[in-house]
């Protein structure tokens, strides 16, 4: 089977597209919990008369039932959910639905495989391939080569701030990738509840820590974070300090988590005896919106939850004890007034973003959005037969063997094809050799 690869509710009011004789048919494809959440929100933000459907392609990071429910909470897909199907099932749905637009809301390696599959499925079913749009579900500063590389054959790349648009355009030009970018309000930013409503009057009792799988990465840093959260719970006994996880240890996530916070806290309790941990320290999962409704403040290193909190006027601390860097994904918070160190967390001194930072970073005016106009233009080009498939950036050599290799990398043990097994058997040693050579070259350069 051919393949493809793809790529967060202050949903700004969107101008509806002109009515067509036939409704635009849109198929959204998600994989991990964060991409499913983003994809569902993007579909919700499309014109109401478009026909929209969401499926989840089965990959090694397919959400658990609880994660999927949390990801779809508040979206138009919450009641019915989104069916989980394998790669072949996704392609059968493409052939059956004959969509005008496909939203590829998946991780990079999967996106590359999906695009190839969508194009092939359309050709086999005898209809013009759909417009393929993609994007990233959270903070996308700094722009990365991999994000562009894996999605280079998509027709349109959605981003969520003026700064992201500028940075990705500059990077694409620098590395020679031809890509069109559309500005869209971050689609799952929450709207405040109406004043006086029961939801708005909920008691604000909690300090929410938005945990991340990869940030900070090192064990010692994650243990330091836990120490600060314990200290904050002890220093503020009238507040709950909630470590909000995307999933418990063992549940799949967009990024593999080497040192889950729930495991680390359990190990800490074993060392110092559970009764010595403050009783107002808790670990919870579930939709972020429900936690923010009870929050007196949110703390994170670089989670997109900080942007969600800002939309609800919840004060924030973006911890800078570990520094600011591309690896920590917190460069976006420079000049925001949100960066603070652990003593501010322990003492409960939360902050609000500076107005000058907001317009460039996720809180631009809705009238600045360009993405729906861009999709309409692409639909017109498709109707006129003027939508050639973009060139793959890198990884073009190898033909069907390369495609089998890409598919095996993206789907792992779920790809049971003979071609995938052969590609893995041949390709892995070559990959390890290339990685070792690059490491040796970097070491020589440092010397």
194 located within any domain: no
**CATH number of the domain residue 71 falls in:** 3.40.50
**371 and 351 fall within a common domain:** no
**243 and 292 fall within a common domain:** yes
112 located within any domain: yes
195 located within any domain: no
**160 and 300 fall within a common domain:** no
**98 and 213 fall within a common domain:** no
**331 and 371 fall within a common domain:** no
The predicted structure's pLDDT at residue 418? 80
**107 and 237 fall within a common domain:** no
The predicted structure's pLDDT at residue 385? 95
**137 and 244 fall within a common domain:** no
**CATH number of the domain residue 317 falls in:** 3.40.50.2000
The predicted structure's pLDDT at residue 42? 97
The predicted structure's pLDDT at residue 250? 57
Number of domains in the chain: 3
**177 and 253 fall within a common domain:** no
The predicted structure's pLDDT at residue 10? 27
**57 and 175 fall within a common domain:** yes
Please list the pLDDT of the chain residue by residue as tens digits (447 residues): 433 333 332 233 333 334 446 799 999 999 999 999 999 999 999 999 999 999 999 999 999 998 899 899 989 998 778 999 999 999 999 999 999 999 999 999 999 999 999 999 999 999 999 999 999 998 999 999 999 999 999 999 999 999 999 999 999 999 999 999 999 999 988 888 888 888 888 889 999 999 998 899 899 999 999 999 999 999 999 999 999 997 766 565 655 678 889 899 888 876 666 567 899 999 999 899 999 999 999 999 999 999 999 999 999 999 999 999 999 999 999 999 999 999 999 999 999 999 989 999 999 999 999 999 999 999 999 999 999 999 988 877 677 878 888 898 899 898 888 887 777 776 666 555 555 555 656 666 665
**16 and 162 fall within a common domain:** yes
201 located within any domain: no
**What are the angstrom distances between the C-alpha of 193 and each of 71, 77, 175, 199, 282?**
20, 21, 44, 6, 26
Give the predicted TM-score (pTM) of the model: 0.83
The predicted structure's pLDDT at residue 443? 63
Range of the domain at 425: 399-446
The predicted structure's pLDDT at residue 445? 62
167 located within any domain: yes
**218 and 322 fall within a common domain:** yes
394 located within any domain: no
**136 and 274 fall within a common domain:** no
417 located within any domain: yes
374 located within any domain: yes
């Amino acid at each position: 089977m051919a393949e493809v690869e793809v790529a967060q509710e202050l949903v700004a009011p969107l101008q509806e597209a002109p009515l067509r004789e036939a409704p635009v048919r849109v198929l959204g494809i998600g994989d991990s919990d964060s991409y499913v959440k983003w994809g569902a929100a993007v579909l919700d933000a499309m014109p109401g008369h478009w026909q929209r459907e969401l499926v989840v392609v089965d990959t090694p990071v397919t959400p658990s039932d609880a994660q999927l429910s949390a990801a779809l909470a508040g979206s138009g897909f919450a009641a019915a959910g989104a069916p989980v199907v394998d790669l072949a099932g996704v392609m059968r749905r493409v052939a059956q639905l004959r969509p005008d637009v496909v939203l590829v809301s998946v991780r990079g390696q999967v996106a590359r495989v999906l695009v190839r599959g969508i194009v092939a499925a359309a050709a086999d079913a005898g209809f013009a391939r759909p417009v393929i749009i993609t994007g990233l579900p959270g903070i996308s500063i700094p722009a990365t080569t991999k994000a562009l590389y894996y999605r280079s054959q998509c027709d349109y790349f959605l981003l969520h701030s003026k700064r992201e648009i500028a940075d990705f355009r500059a990077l694409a030009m620098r590395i020679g990738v031809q890509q069109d970018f559309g500005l869209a309000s971050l689609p799952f930013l929450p709207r405040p509840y109406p004043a006086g409503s029961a939801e708005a009057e909920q008691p604000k009792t909690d300090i929410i820590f938005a945990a991340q799988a990869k940030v900070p990465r090192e064990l010692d840093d994650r243990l330091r974070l836990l120490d600060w959260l314990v200290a904050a719970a002890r220093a503020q006994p009238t507040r709950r300090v909630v470590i909000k996880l995307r999933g418990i240890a063992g549940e799949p996530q967009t990024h593999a988590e080497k040192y889950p916070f729930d495991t680390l806290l359990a190990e800490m309790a074993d060392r110092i005896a559970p009764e010595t941990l403050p009783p107002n320290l808790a670990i919870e999962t579930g939709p972020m919106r429900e936690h923010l409704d009870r929050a007196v403040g949110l703390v994170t290193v670089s989670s997109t939850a900080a942007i969600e909190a800002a939309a609800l006027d919840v004060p924030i601390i973006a911890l800078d004890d570990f520094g600011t860097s591309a690896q920590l994904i917190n460069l976006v918070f420079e000049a925001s007034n949100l960066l603070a160190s652990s003593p501010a967390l322990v003492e409960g001194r939360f902050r609000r973003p500076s107005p000058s930072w907001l317009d460039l970073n996720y809180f631009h005016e809705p009238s600045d959005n360009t993405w729906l106009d861009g999709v309409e233009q692409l639909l017109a080009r498709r109707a006129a037969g003027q939508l050639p498939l973009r060139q793959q950036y890198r990884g073009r050599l190898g033909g069907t063997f390369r495609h089998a290799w890409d598919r095996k990398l993206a789907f792992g043990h779920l790809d049971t094809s003979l071609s995938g097994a052969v590609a893995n058997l041949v390709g892995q040693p070559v990959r390890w050799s290339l990685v070792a050579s690059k490491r040796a070259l970097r070491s020589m350069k440092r010397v």
